[in-house]
Amino acid sequence: MFSNRTNWNFSENKLSLELNSLKLKQIPVIDLSESNPTRCQFKYLNQAAILRPFSNPANLNYNPSPKGKKEARQAIQFYYRKKGIHVDLDRILLTASTSEAYTYIFRLLANSKERILVPKPSYPLFQFIVDLNDVTLDSYPLDHQENRWEINFKYLTDHIFDDTKAMIVVHPNNPTGSFIKKVESDKLIQIAKLKSLALISDEVFSDYAFENDSERITSFAGVSDILTFSLGGISKSLGLPQMKLSWVVVNGPEKLVKEAMNRLEIISDTFLSVNTPSQEALPIWFDMINEIQSEIKERIKTNLDWIIQITSNENRVKCFQPEGGWYVILKLLDQKNEEEWALEFLQKDRVFVHPGYFFDMEEELCFVISLLLPPDQFQEGCQRIFDRVKKIQNS
């Protein structure tokens, strides 16, 4: 009755079962995995200005455009201009989400069972997207060395096959928070040219860098040597995931870009999933970007500074300092496995965290926590973890 591509394992893991049990009993839990800004008590969400564009009568007109409304794409063009990057208006394509953008690009580039390279650790969602598009997923590791994460280029090049069609980078990576450096960018472009691969750069968190770094690239949206697809969206850049608007910037050699855009327009025209109100509102929302990002950045910096400070005095908990993004990784120096620890935190301390294996992390005893929670909740949840670790250590 059903396709093989949806033959997933639907059984819940122990951690999810326990969390659902607590929710049914209405037992409060501090969710340190919370990455939805609309549930994190940000003041910008109370502004009438966000909703005001929805009263625009133009929202009642339907004028479908496969690339997206010109005014919305112009707002995105200006967004890149402020970063010092010129983007051709006709090379911007709107989508309803980054996941949809991946789907369009995979459909554009890969035949059934052909390969896409993705970084590891990274989004758990990738496996579902490649399954739904009948693509084969290969991964290349990010190695943690001397307080930074680096692409393992030997492994990457060893796993490029005749049917490999593209490499994905996440800039900055989720959950490591590591940016692509100029040296790495040059190598990736060189490899892509040599192997005739496209490069897909997921840059949804790129506005959230913690420090200036001259080694870091701004974006792949200005690359012209190879076929590139740079992904962004308002779920992160404007903290508005509920408004469902993302984009793809296509760059590279003129002939390839023209062919890619022709095909992408037909793919997009088949679905036309981007809603009119969000497109109409985008220029107005982008006028609020500094205010919105300032509040989010202040929150994540406050939480990051606190956890770096407190873990500097912890003997059994280490913090991997990210370069950007919304997450931080904690590593426990103990013999229990990740699931045992995560269950203990949830059952005894009412704190939910994501174990590193959710993200295919090879480092053991790692936990990914969000920096978006209000500081009092964030600190309380983390402190419960530290107290639990001390109790186990001293028992």
What is the rounded distance in angstroms from the CA atom of residue 250 to the CA atom of residue 232?
12
Q: Is the dihedral of CA 251, 257, 262, 268 positive or negative?
A: negative
What integer pLDDT is reported at residue 213 of this predicted model? 86
The token duo for 322 is 């990210």
From residue 258, alpha-carbon distances to 11, 77, 93, 100, 263 in Å are 44, 18, 13, 21, 9
User: Which SS3 state, helix, strand or coil, does residue 322 take?
Assistant: coil
Instruction: Tell me the C-alpha distance between 395 and 393, whole Å.
Output: 6
- Is residue 215 within 8 A of residue 181, CB to CB? The reply is yes
Report cis status (omega within 30 of 0) of the bond before 175. Answer: yes
390, 383, 372: which is closest to 33 by C-alpha?
A: 372
Q: pLDDT tens digit string along 102-161? A: 999 999 999 999 999 999 999 989 999 999 999 999 999 999 988 899 999 999 999 999
Q: Angle, nearest 10°, between helix axes 338-349 and 375-394? A: 110
Structural domain boundaries of the chain?
11-44+290-388, 52-287
Task: Report the alpha-carbon angle 361-171-227, nearest 5.
Answer: 115
DSSP string, 315-384: SSEEEE--SBSSEEEEEE-SSS-HHHHHHHHHHHH-EE-EEGGGGT--SSSEEEEES-S-HHHHHHHHHH
Which CATH topology does 52-287 take?
A: Aspartate Aminotransferase; domain 2 (3.40.640)
Query: In this predicted structure, what is the pLDDT of residue 395?
Result: 66
pLDDT of 391 reads 86
Strand 228-233 and strand 198-202: the pairing is: parallel
How would you classify the pairing of strands 327-332 and 317-320? antiparallel
**Rounded CA separation 379/295 (Å):** 18
| Each residue's pLDDT tens digit, 54-100 | 999 999 999 999 999 999 999 999 999 999 999 999 999 999 999 99
What parts of the chain have a pLDDT lower than 70?
395
The first and second tokens of residue 63, run together, are 């004028």
Instruction: Please give the structure tokens belonging to residue 248.
Output: 């793809």
Distance between terminal CA atoms of the chain?
54
Residue 141 bridge partners (DSSP): 120
Domain covering 11-44+290-388 in this structure, CATH number = 3.90.1150.10
The residues, any chain, with a CB within 8 Å of residue 276's CB and separated by 6 or more, are 58, 59, 61, 62, 63, 69
Q: What tokens does 240 get?
A: 């508005």
Q: For CA atoms 330, 333, 339, 344, give the dihedral sign.
A: negative
